[in-house]
Amino acid sequence: MELRRIGGSVSQLSKVFTRASTGLDAPVVTIEVHISGGLPGFSIVGLPEGAVRESKDRVRSALMNSRFKLPKGRITVSLAPANLPKSSGRYDLPIALGVLIASGQIKPDIDIAQFEFYGELGLDGLLHSTEGLLPAVIAAHKDSHDLVIPYDNHEQCVLAQEARILPAKNLLQVCEFITGIGTLERPMIQPDFDTKHDKNFSQVKGQYHAKRALEIAASGGHNLLLRGTPGSGKTMLAERLPSILPSLDNEAALQRAAIYSVANKSIDLSQFYIRPFRSPHHSSSAVALVGGGSSPRPGEISLAHGGVLFLDELPEFPRHVLEVLRQPLESGEVHVSRAQQQVTFPANFQLVGAMNPCPCGYYGDGTSKCHCTEDQISKYQMKISGPLLDRIDMILDVPPVSKEVLLSPQDKTTENSETIRVRVLDCYNRQLKRQGKLNDQLDANEVDSLIILSADNKQLLENVMDQLHLSARAYHRILKVARTIADLDHADTIESQHLIEAIGYRRYNG
C-alpha cells in the first residue's frame, strides 16, 4: 500500500494481481485501487463488461457482511491493461482485497505481488466458483506465482499438479491468510486417472475391412468417411476409434482440460488421458461447431482437439455449417474475431464422418428396399461439397453384417483394441522418429521430399489422377495414406500394394 499526501488529504493506492480469460490465453491483469477524498463514489475502469461493472455492488455487500467498512471517499478501480476486455465475476475477490488494503483495514503479512487472486463474491462474502480458471492456473505456474481460488474450483485446478493453488471458502478466510492470522492449505488430492476404454473393437463382429481402414486412419491421423446402409455398424466402429489411439501425454491432456475449462464443461478424470470423442447433432449451428459468441468460447472442433470429431448423418448437416470445417482441417486451429478481440482456439482434430448412400439409406445393399431415383441419390451425395471431400483422406463403404456373422458366437480370435493399439503406437513412433509429426500433418514440400515413388508407381498414380480427376490436394493425401500403410508394414519405401490400397480409399461415387 502506498500513501500520498495531496493538498492536506491522504491518497491511498493498492495493487492486486489476477488474470483475464482470452481464449486459452490468460494475460495478467493488475487491479489498482485508489481511494481519494471527495464525494463518495465507486467506479471501475479498464473495459469492464456487464458482470465486472456489477462487481462494485457485490463487493460493497460482501465487505459489509464480512464485518468490514466501505471506505468513505471516492474509490477508483483500474483494471490494467485498459485495452483488454474483462468479463465474468472472477475480479470480485481481488477488487475487494484492493479496497481493504488501500483503506488500511488489512495489512499484508505476505508479498502480495507473488500471489494472484480469483473468485466471484456472494453478498454474504462467500466465494463462488469461477469458470475458465485452468488456463490462468497454468500461466501463473509458469510465472512462479501462487494462486488463491474459490474452494469449489480446486478439484479442476489440481489437474495442473505442479501449480501451487490455495483454495478459500470466503473473503474472511483470504484476509486472515494475507494478514498472517490464518492459513490456507494446499489441497493434497491426487487425481485417480483411469485409462480403461468401455468400447472395444473386440465387440465388433465381422467388418474386417473397416477395422483395417480405422487402424490406418488412427496410425496416420487421417480423416475418414464411412458410407453404408442403416445398421451396418458405422457409428459403432467410429465410437471405438479412440480405443486404438495412443493416450495423450500430460501436456496435451492439460491443454484439453484447459479448453473444457474455458467452455465451462467438466471433464471426467477417468478420461483425462484418453483422446476426446465429440459427436455433435446434425442440427448444430456453425457457432456451436467452431466456437464464438460475444465472449468467444471454443466449439466442438476445439473440444475434439487431439481426438476425434464424429459427424454422423453427414449430409444432414447444413452445407454452410460443414464448410466452416475447411480452414481448421488445414491449419489445425480456428480464429474467432469480434469487434474488441480476436481469439485463437486449437482445433487439430481427426474428422470421421458417416453417411447413408441415399436418402432412404438402402441404395446398393442388394435388396429392393431402395426406391430413390438417380436424381435424388445424386442430390443427396452432392450435399457434401467437393472442397470438403478433398480434405477427407479415406472413403470406405461399410457393408451390412450378414445374419450368419451377427448370430454367431463372439469369435475369440477377434483382435481387441489393446492389440491394435500396439501396432498403431509403433507406427506413430516410426513417423515421429522420421519427421517429428504424423503423416497427415506433412505439408506439400515435406511430401515431395520425404515420399519418393518409383517410376512405375508414379505412372500408376498419374493414370489414377486422370481417371478420377483428382486435385493436387487429393494427390498429396493419397501419398500420405500410402506412407502410413507402408509404415504399418515396416517398409522404408512405398510399394505398389501400399499405393493401390491408398487409392482404393479415395473413390467417392454412387
Q: Give the C-alpha separation, 430 to 477, whole Å.
A: 19
- Residue 211 shares a structural domain with residue 164: no
Residue type, 334: V
Least confident of 18-27, 329-338, 394-403, 408-417: 408-417
In a 13 Å sphere around the CA of 454, the CA atoms on its Cβ side amount to 10
- Residue 221 shares a structural domain with residue 307: yes
Residue type, 465: M
Give the mean pLDDT of 84-101.
94
SS3 content of the chain, % helix, strand, coil (to 5): 40, 20, 40
Q: What is the pLDDT of residue 3?
A: 45
- Residue 53 shares a structural domain with residue 109: yes
Which cell is 253 given?
491432456
Q: What is the pLDDT of residue 8?
A: 37
- Residue 113 shares a structural domain with residue 212: no
- Residue 38 shares a structural domain with residue 125: yes
pLDDT > 80? residue 332: yes
253 found inside a domain: yes
Which residue is associated with the grid cell 481469439?
343
pLDDT > 80? residue 508: no
378 found inside a domain: yes
Q: What is the CATH number of the domain that holds 324?
A: 3.40.50.300
Please provide the DSSP assignment of 312-352 as one string.
Answer: SSGGGS-HHHHHTTHHHHHHSEEEEE-SS-EEEEE---EEE
- Residue 117 shares a structural domain with residue 87: yes
pLDDT > 60? residue 4: no
pLDDT > 70? residue 144: yes
Confidence of residue 191 (pLDDT cuts 50, 70, 90): low
Instruction: Read off the pLDDT of residues 146-175 as tens digits, 9 standing for 90 and up.
Output: 999 999 998 888 788 788 999 999 999 999
- Residue 398 shares a structural domain with residue 306: yes
Domain count, the chain: 2
Instruction: Read off the pLDDT of residues 249-287 as tens digits, 9 standing for 90 and up.
Output: 989 999 999 999 999 888 877 788 899 999 999 999 999
Instruction: Read off the pLDDT of residues 428-465 as tens digits, 9 standing for 90 and up.
Output: 999 999 999 999 999 989 998 999 999 999 999 999 88
- Residue 356 shares a structural domain with residue 396: yes
Domain end point (choices 343, 371, 404): 404
Higher pLDDT, 137 or 7: 137
Q: Give the C-alpha separation, 437 to 264, whole Å.
A: 31
Confidence of residue 507 (pLDDT cuts 50, 70, 90): confident
- Residue 172 shares a structural domain with residue 212: no
- Residue 255 shares a structural domain with residue 362: yes
- Residue 171 shares a structural domain with residue 209: no
Question: pTM for the whole thing?
Answer: 0.89
463 found inside a domain: no
Give the mean pLDDT of 25-33.
96
483 found inside a domain: no
pLDDT > 90? residue 469: no
Q: What is the pLDDT of residue 192?
A: 61
pLDDT > 80? residue 71: yes
Domain that holds residue 85: 2-179
Q: What is the pLDDT of residue 509?
A: 55
68 found inside a domain: yes
Domain end point (choices 362, 382, 404): 404
Average pLDDT, the chain: 90
Q: What is the pLDDT of residue 6?
A: 37
pLDDT > 60? residue 7: no
239 found inside a domain: yes
Q: What is the CATH number of the domain that holds 133?
A: 3.30.230.10
Higher pLDDT, 7 or 241: 241
Q: What is the pLDDT of residue 510?
A: 43
508 found inside a domain: no
Domain end point (choices 129, 144, 179): 179
16 found inside a domain: yes
- Residue 232 shares a structural domain with residue 107: no
